[in-house]
């Protein structure tokens, strides 16, 4: 895992965003951008960023990593923003990655820093990039993952053991992917509670949604203040990921 931090910027604060975001994408989605058969998405990448990513030895992975960073920041913010304002100048294998926030973007959203974690281990294992973005300083965080096919095969048992009727009703149209993502998140939350010395099963956590559709922790065992806990979910066709973090 590598960690990057945005450079300093304006002091003006309009918003005070505090959240985390998680995104996962399959690298194959970005092969046409890498080979030039499709122009870079101008609403996603800046011209400088697109040129940099296209020049990388593994350009598809570079485009994928940058997209994940932008999407994860959107989830951490909880609102839309202009993706080219957050440039992710990815270099495969670099110990320090370069992330650039436009000064006007930093000022209008009141962002002091963006902390980015690139989980490159999944690239070799399953051809996917997973990116975590933090607008908080986490004391601890846990990432869990689950194969979607496994959730589909055991869906009835999983629903009975780990989900309330209200949660099942809220899974929506992408039922299996949503189920797998929610279970991955519950497992991450159980690890978070275990770190605080509280043994808890995934089914003891209730996950709901904000009006935007983003996940939120509705109920949990005692031991960790819900106000200090942040969550995010992402999934591809084959894998689901859940991220839970506690604020310092």
Residue 186: the pLDDT is 98
Q: Does 52 have pLDDT greater than 50?
A: yes
List the single range of 7-11, 15-19, 88-92, 111-115 with lowest mean pLDDT: 7-11
pLDDT band, very low/low/confident/very high, at 2 (cuts 50, 70, 90):
very low
pLDDT band, very low/low/confident/very high, at 175 (cuts 50, 70, 90):
confident
List the single range of 117-131, 171-185, 195-209 with lowest mean pLDDT: 171-185
> How many angstroms separate the CA atoms of 132 and 164, rounded?
28
Select from 165, 119, 173 the least CA-distant residue to 3: 119
223: which 2 tokens? 């031991």
Q: What is the mean pLDDT of residues 5-31?
A: 66
Residue 108: the pLDDT is 86
Residue 75: the pLDDT is 96
Residue 142: the pLDDT is 97
Residue 8: the pLDDT is 30
Strand partners, 114: none
State the SS3 of the chain: CEEEECCCCCCCCCCCCCCEEEEEEEHHHHHHHHCCCCCCCCCCCCHHHHHHHHCCCCHHHHHHHHHHHHHHHHHHHCCCCCHHHEEEECCCCCCCCEEEECHHHHHHHCCCCCEEEEECHHHHHHCEEEEEEECCCEEEEEEEEEEHHHHHHCHHHHHHHHCCHHHHHCCCCCHHHHHHHHHHHHHHHHHHHHHCCCCCCHHHCEEEECCCCCEEEEECCCCCCHHHEEEEEEECCCEEEEEEEEEC
Mean residue pLDDT across the chain: 90
Residue 123: the pLDDT is 92
Residue 15: the pLDDT is 42
- Domains along the sequence of the chain with CATH: 2-136 (3.90.470.20), 142-247 (3.90.470.20)
Q: What is the mean pLDDT of residues 107-122?
A: 89
Q: What is the mean pLDDT of residues 7-34?
A: 72
Residue 213: the pLDDT is 86
Residue 7: the pLDDT is 30
Q: What is the mean pLDDT of residues 124-134?
A: 95
Residue 32: the pLDDT is 95
């Amino acid at each position: 895992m590598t960690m990057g931090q945005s450079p300093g910027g304006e002091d003006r604060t309009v918003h005070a965003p505090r959240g985390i975001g998680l995104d996962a994408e399959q690298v194959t989605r970005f092969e046409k951008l890498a080979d030039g058969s499709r122009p870079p998405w101008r609403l996603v990448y800046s011209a400088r960023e697109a040129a940099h990513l296209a020049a990388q030895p593994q350009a598809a992975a570079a485009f994928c990593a940058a997209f994940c960073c932008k999407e994860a920041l959107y989830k951490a913010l909880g609102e839309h923003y202009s993706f080219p304002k957050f440039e992710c100048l990815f270099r495969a294998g670099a110990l320090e990655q370069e992330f650039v926030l436009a000064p006007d973007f930093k000022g209008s959203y009141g962002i002091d820093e963006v902390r980015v974690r690139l989980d490159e281990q999944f690239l070799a294992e399953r051809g996917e990039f997973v990116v975590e973005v933090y607008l908080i300083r986490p004391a601890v965080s846990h990432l869990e993952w689950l194969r979607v096919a496994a959730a589909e095969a055991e869906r009835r048992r999983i629903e009975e053991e780990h989900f309330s009727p209200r949660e099942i009703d809220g899974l929506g149209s992408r039922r299996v992917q949503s189920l797998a993502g929610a279970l991955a998140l519950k497992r991450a939350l159980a690890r978070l509670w275990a770190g605080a010395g509280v043994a808890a099963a995934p089914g003891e956590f209730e996950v709901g949604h904000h009006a935007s559709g983003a996940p939120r922790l509705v109920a949990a065992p005692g031991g960790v203040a819900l106000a200090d806990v942040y969550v995010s979910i992402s999934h591809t066709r084959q894998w689901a990921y859940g991220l839970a973090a506690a604020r310092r």
